[in-house]
Amino acid sequence: GENVEQHPSTLSVQEGDSAVIKCTYSDSASNYFPWYKQELGKRPQLIIDIRSNVGEKKDQRIAVTLNKTAKHFSLHITETQPEDSAVYFCAPLTSGTYKYIFGTGTRLKVLA
Amino acid sequence: SQTIHQWPATLVQPVGSPLSLECTVEGTSNPNLYWYRQAAGRGLQLLFYSVGIGQISSEVPQNLSASRPQDRQFILSSKKLLLSDSGFYLCAWSWAGGTEAFFGQGTRLTVV
């Protein structure tokens, strides 16, 4: 939690290509690592999450990888589709704390 | 199942007028509650969070305040709105243990 940065801030990919978004955090005690998707004008919704005892988790075309040593985790989207176009937020959290800080956001555009 | 209600969906208010946005959660007890503001094309700024009735933590004091009069009710208020208060306001809740955050539909506030 606390200082949370995402890179890149915007990302354009051709339909069918892969997209990778990286989230860097400062709190070494963070142990819950979610990614949220926010479509235009809508509320953010959880799409995938991982806990610190797992290095990678996959759900169909999306996956999250975690590097606790380097304090970053990444969202991977394969075979991108136009409906993947949205803003993506990470929000690393530490158990026992309740200050839910979101990353700076990444706007993904999938070009048809 | 749990649901979160936030209203109104849109609001246009003159500068200097008061504000009251309400959020209620159903189907759970003792949730963590959050208020976020999102400026156009920007990230999610945490304004207030609460871990129990009457317990409010402020991240961005400014001219906004929050209250939690009941376990599942969270209210965002202002005595006098500024132009800079315009934005998309989102209420959210999470389990007391703190994992996934569930967002309300949001209120789009325009101060004129």
Q: What is the pLDDT of residues B37-82, one digit of tens each?
A: 998 878 999 999 999 998 999 887 678 999 999 999 999 999 999 9
The mean pLDDT of A35-46, rounded to a whole number, is 96
Chains A and B form CB pairs within 8 A to the count of: 59
Q: What is the pLDDT of residue B61?
A: 65
Of B44, B51, B104, the CB nearest to A89: B44
Mutation for testing the B interface, residue in A10, A30, A31, A43 having most B CBs under 10 Å: A43
Q: What is the pLDDT of residue B42?
A: 82
The mean pLDDT of A23-50, rounded to a whole number, is 95
Burial class from Cβ neighbours inside 10 Å (0-12, 13-18, 19+) for residue B16 reads: exposed
Token pair in block for residue B57 = 């933590």
Question: What phi and psi, each to the nearest 5 degrees, are found at residue B84?
Answer: -70, -5
* Percent of all residues in chain B with a pLDDT value above 90, rounded to a whole number: 83
Band of residue A96 on the pLDDT scale cut at 50, 70, 90: confident
The mean pLDDT of A48-59, rounded to a whole number, is 91
